[in-house]
Amino acid sequence: MTKEDHFKKAEELFDKKEFNKAIECLNKAIELDSQEAVYYYGRGWCYYNLKEYNKALEDFNKAIELDSGYADYFNGRGCCYYELEEYNKAIADYNKALEINPNIPDCFNGRGKCYYYMKEYKKALENLNKAMKLDSIYTVGYGWRAMCRYYLKDYKKAIKDFNKAIELNPKYEMYYKYRGACYYYLEEYNKAIADYNKAIELDSNYTSAFNGRGWSYYQLKEYNKAIDDFNKVLELDSNYTSAFNGRGWSYCKLKEYKKAIDDFNKEIESEQTVTMFNGRGWCYYGLAEYNKAIDDFNKSIKSDPNYWDTYRGKAACYLELKEYQIALDSFNKSIALNPDFADNFNGRAWCYYNLKDYNKAIKDFNKAIKSEQTVSMLNGRGNCFRKLKKYNKAIQDFDKAIELNPDEATNFNRRGWCYFGLKEYNKALEDFNKAIELNPDNKVFLRSKRMCCHKLKGHSRIV
C-alpha cells in the first residue's frame, strides 16, 4: 500500500472513531514519508481524541515544524494546550491560527473557553459570539455564553442563553442549576427552586443544587425547608461552608440561637468571613449576650469595613446597653452604607428618642414608616409626639399600632396618657382599663389608672 492509501484508510477509521487503528495506519504512512506534515496532524487528532494530549502535542509540534503556514495545525496544538490547562499557550496558538485564517470558528470558540477559565469573561463572551456568528453549529456556545453572562452578573441575558441551551440539551443538570442561580440573584426565588428541583431530579447528589435551593427557601422565610436542604448538602460534603452559613442563619431566624452558633463556629473554623462573624453576632444579640455580639461585629468590620448590616448589629447591641451615642454613631455608618433599609432609621430614631432629641427621632421614624409600617415604628413616633405634647398626632400613631397588635397593653397605656394630656379623662380611663385587662399585674398601668381616677371626681378608688 502507498502512503496515500494508508492516510485514506486512517481517515475512514478516524470517522468511525477507531482512533488506535487510525494511528497504526498513520504510523505506516509516516514510515514511508516522515516529512509530510498532514500525517502528524492527523495522528495528533487521534491522540487528542484518546485524551493522550502530550503525544498529540508532539505530533502537532512536528506538523508545525514541517509546515508553519497552515492554520489548522496551530488550532490543533491550541486545543491540546487548552486540555492541559495551559491557557496562555493555547491563546497564543489560536491567535496564530487566526492570523493565517481569521474565519475559523473553532479558534474563537477555543480562545473564548480559555478566557472563561482565566475569568476574563468579557473577552470570553466576545470570542464565543464570533464563533457562533461564523458557524451556527456551535450550539454548545449557548451554554458557555450563558456562564460568561452569569459571572458578569448579566442574569437576564444569561437566562435567555440557558433557555436555548436547555432546549438543545434538556438532560444537562448544570444548565438548570445555573439558571436557578440567575433567578435567585434576580430575587425570583420560586423560579429558582423549580430549576434546582430539575437539577436534583437529573442528579440526586448535586450538592450545589441542594445548597442553592436551601438559600432560596431561606429567602422565602421557609427556614425548616432550608435546613433540610442544608442538612443534605452537609451529608454529601461535610466541609461545605456555605451550608453551615445557611443553616446557621436559618436557625438564627427560628431563634434557635445555640444551634446557629454551633454552625457559625464550624464555618469559622474552616473559613473566616464577614457573614459568619455577623451571623454569630446576631445570635449572641438574640441571647442578650451583647458584649460577645459586639466582639463578633467588630471582627466582621475588620474583615469588611463596608458591610452595613454589621454596623446595624453593633448599634442594636449598644442600644440595648443604653449607650445611645455609640449606638447612634454605628447606625449613622450603617445608613451611609445602605440608606434604603427601613429598620436602620427605626433604630437611629430610638437613639434620638432616648437622647431626648424628639424632632430628629420623628424624622427618622417618618423615613422608616414610609418603607415599612411596624408597631415599633408607630409606637416610637407616637411617643415622640406625646413627649412634644402633640397628643392628637400621637393618638393617630397609637391607633394604628393597636390596629396592628391589639394585644399589646403598653400602647393602650400610652394612648391613655395622650387622652389624659388632652383632659379627655374618660377616654384615658378606658385605655388604662384595657391595658390592665391585658396585663393585670402591671404596676405602671395601675398607677396610670389611679392618677386618672384622681382627676375624675368621685373615682379616686381603684376598683
Of 65, 26, 57, 61, nearest in space to 42 by CA:
26
* pLDDT score for 272: 63
Q: Tell me the Cα Rg of the chain.
A: 35
The letter for the amino acid at 49 is N
Cα–Cα distance between 52 and 176 in angstroms, integer? 32
Statement: residue 55 has pLDDT above 60: yes
Statement: residue 183 has pLDDT above 50: yes
* pLDDT score for 2: 94
Q: What is the mean pLDDT of residues 308-330?
A: 97
Statement: residue 461 has pLDDT above 60: no
Tell me how far apart the 2 most distant CA atoms of the chain are, in Å: 129
In sequence order, the 6+-apart residues with CB closer than 8 A to the CB of 235 are none
* pLDDT score for 135: 83
* pLDDT score for 458: 58
Statement: residue 270 has pLDDT above 80: no
Statement: residue 68 has pLDDT above 60: yes
Averaged pLDDT score across all residues of the chain: 95
> Containing H/E element for 220?
none
Statement: residue 25 has pLDDT above 80: yes
* pLDDT score for 206: 98
pLDDT band at 140 (very low <50, low <70, confident <90, very high): confident
> Containing H/E element for 240?
none
pLDDT band at 463 (very low <50, low <70, confident <90, very high): very low
Q: Which residues of 192-227 are buried (b: 16+ CB within 10 A; e: fewer)?
A: bbbbbebbbebeeebbbbbbbbbbbbbeeebbebbb
Q: Which residues of 228-264 are buried (b: 16+ CB within 10 A; e: fewer)?
A: bbbebbbebeeebbbbbbbbbbbbbeeebbebbbbbb
User: Cβ-count burial of 376 within 10 angstroms (0-12 exposed, 13-18 middle, 19+ buried)?
Assistant: middle
Contact at 8 Å (CB) between 141 and 131?
yes
The letter for the amino acid at 255 is K
Statement: residue 14 has pLDDT above 60: yes
Q: What is the mean pLDDT of residues 182-207?
A: 98
* pLDDT cut 70: percent of the chain above it: 97
* pLDDT score for 219: 98
Q: Which long-range contacts (CB under 8 A, 24 or more apart) does 86-94 make?
A: 87/114, 87/115, 87/117, 87/118, 88/114, 90/114, 91/115
Cα–Cα distance between 102 and 373 in angstroms, integer? 62
Counting every residue written for the chain, the total comes to: 463
Statement: residue 241 has pLDDT above 80: yes
Q: What is the mean pLDDT of residues 146-154?
A: 97
For the stretch 357-376, pLDDT in tens is 999 999 999 999 998 889 99
> Containing H/E element for 25?
helix 19-32
User: Quick one: angle between helices 207-219 and 223-236, nearest 10?
Assistant: 160
Domain boundaries, the chain: 413-463
Q: What is the mean pLDDT of residues 353-357?
A: 97
Contact at 8 Å (CB) between 7 and 26?
yes
* pLDDT score for 462: 45
pLDDT band at 115 (very low <50, low <70, confident <90, very high): very high
Whole-prediction pTM: 0.83
